Amino acid sequence: MATTKLSRRQFAGRVGAAVGAVLVAPEIIRGVADARQPRGAESAIQLNANENPYGPSEKALAAMTRSQAIAARYPDAYESMMVEEIAKLHGVQPANVVLGCGSGEILRMADMAFLAPGKNVVVAEPTFEAVLAYARVARGEGIKVPQTADFRHDLPAMAAACNANTALVYICNPNNPTGTIVTRDEMAKFIAAVPKSAVIMVDEAYHHFVEDPRYSSAFEWVGKAPNVVVVRTFSKIYGMAGMRLGYAVGSREIIAGMRAHATSSNSNAAVLEAALASLADPTHVPKYKKMMNDTRHWLCAQLKKDGRRFIPSETNFVMIDVGGDVLPVVQAFRKKNILVGRKFPSMSNWLRISIGTQKEMDAFLAGLREIVPVAAARAA
């Protein structure tokens, strides 16, 4: 393997960036990550972090209990089993897979592997912001491309924004926070238009909820386009946001570059056992997809009945136009012990609502009708 000699200045810079990613990034991420809950959140109705309110399956919970028997040992063997199962699931080799402590660590690995001073990452505005936060730690530049009028990725504009310094392009599909998708045809054209020197990272955290037949997972291009990497997580439909496990699949070269920035032993016995049980359970995904999508359809029907403006979603959350600055609305819901989404600067009038249980959504809708009366929402 070829080696590269580093000057003292280069070595210090890389060490500084690595230390920064460990020490600084959590503070930066605290302001943007959806999963940050305030103290006392456990007693509230939590509709602010796009979680599965029903939690892991019974099989996954049983697997977590079994993991106590191996809690005293490092989970290396289970990590290998997990990688092998993911590789089998997606028709690749284990060398094409890397695990992360949630998909957040996967995004950090990518930024640390591919970004540096003078390099940039192209993203939609708005989108999940962790990739931009870690880019700042890596001293890379974030290039934000405004979304289209119908709240979708403007892929032609994003491709045009790429240049010789573009090292990474981030596509969240479906997108957080808008819930909109990039279609298969749009993705194909985009991949062909982006420079081959740029890594195209497609975050599919909400992939399992999609019903639109025009959608296709970017796994279709893994292997065909060597610069495409797909990211998945067990935090959403699998109900394990608190357990922290994500993964990426791509070419051996790209995955090796990312793996070099992975934290040692970045998973644990409980989540690995639970994830293996979840993948082996053919009923889990369809069951919770139907439950949560049915509730979303019910909510959207109620919003339509009220005459409220909302963005049609393919995820377990919906964005609603509240007719004015969203912050007072967020605060008013908190007084009712209901946690709702934060403010997105480029969409300051839009409130993102995660799909909870039917009882929780009943409480939210009653609160919405009181806090933002229909007449006020329509008048804005």
All structural domains of the chain, each given as residue ranges with its CATH number in brackets, are: 37-52+284-379 (3.90.1150.10), 58-279 (3.40.640.10)
Task: Note whether 18 and 112 are within 8 A (CB).
Answer: yes
User: What's the confidence (pLDDT) of residue 42?
Assistant: 73
Quick one: average pLDDT of 255-272? 95
The answer to whether residue 72 scores a pLDDT higher than 90 is: yes
pLDDT band at 374 (very low <50, low <70, confident <90, very high): confident
Q: What is the mean pLDDT of residues 128-134?
A: 96
List strand residue ranges (DSSP E) for 61-198, in order: 97-100, 120-125, 141-146, 166-172
For every residue of 337-349, which 3-state class applies, written as one string? Answer: CEEECCCCHHHCC
Question: Is 90 exceeded by the pLDDT of residue 40?
Answer: no
**Stretch 125-140: mean pLDDT, rounded?**
97
Q: What is the pLDDT of residues 183-229, one digit of tens each?
A: 999 999 999 999 999 999 999 999 999 999 999 999 999 999 999 99
Best CA proximity match to 41, nearest among 240, 328, 339 = 339
pTM: 0.90
- Where residue 118 falls (left for φ over 0; alpha for ψ -120 to 50; beta otherwise) is left
